[in-house]
Amino acid sequence: MLKPDYPLRTERLTLRPFTPDDLHELHAFHSLPEVARYLYWDARDLDQVREALGDKILRSALYDEGQVLCLAAELTHNGALIGDLSLFWHSARHRQGEIGYVFNPAYHGQGLATEAARELLRLAFDELGLHRVTARCDARNTPSYRLMERLGMRREAHLIENELFKGEWSDEYVYAILDREWRHTPPQGAATRDNRGR
């Protein structure tokens, strides 16, 4: 089980559960075709984002395998919502999970997505006790797989034309990292608790 002690803080970010107030900031980047290009959904209108947000709000903890934890990533200094994070718990017996991330392109190139994804790995290994965590992306999505490599993840598979994706055959990369490998990765932007008397 994983029920994080919110909010989680990294060097520049605050990670927290989604709330209804996130609708318009989430729509600001979920509505962009370039954001949805390599995702399973297309650019979303406001009603579609509202529906997706409603589901995310319910996913603030992991109680059993097969569930997903959804976190909002906001800039600590001004509260701007810039990212949408996921931690999937695939197997309790085999201690397997997966991470995912979607960020507002206005904030690309600053290392913020890497900082947030590193915190997802910390949650997966240190708090949920996983043994192995994977991440996947379309092989054309260079920024995504470069992020995985910055996290110390290794490319374990290049699946050739494994999916008919948005009308065309596409390749997929699968990356992974083990708990013991994570523990040898130098910590950067490690999370701290907020200091409101806890």
Supply the CATH number for residue 14's domain: 3.40.630.30
Q: What is the pLDDT at residue 194? A: 39
CA-based torsion, 142, 152, 98, 25: positive or negative: negative
Nearest to 145 by CA among 130, 156, 129: 156
Residue 180 in any domain: the answer is no
* 15, β-bridge pairs: 8, 73
Q: Does residue 33 fall inside a structural domain?
A: yes
Number of domains in the chain: 1
Chain centroid, CA 8 distance in Å: 14
Pairwise CA distance, residues 77 & 92, whole Å? 37
Q: What SS3 state is found at 121?
A: helix
Q: What pTM was computed for the model?
A: 0.92
pLDDT band at 186 (very low <50, low <70, confident <90, very high): low
Q: How far is residue 139's CA from residue 66's CA, in Å, rounded to a whole number?
A: 25
Residue 69 inside a domain? The answer is yes
- Residue 127 corresponds to which amino acid? E
For 6-64, the pLDDT digits (tens) are 999 999 999 999 999 999 999 999 999 999 999 999 999 999 999 999 999 999 999 99
Asked if residue 159 belongs to a domain, the reply is no
Asked if residue 196 is part of any domain, the answer here is: no
**In the prediction, which pLDDT does 184 show?**
87
Q: Which two tokens stand for residue 198?
A: 């806890």
Domain that holds residue 38: 8-130
CA 21 to chain centre: 20
How far from each other are the two terminal CA atoms of the chain, in whole angstroms?
21
Residue 177 lies in a domain: no
Cβ–Cβ under 8 Å, residues 18 and 53: yes
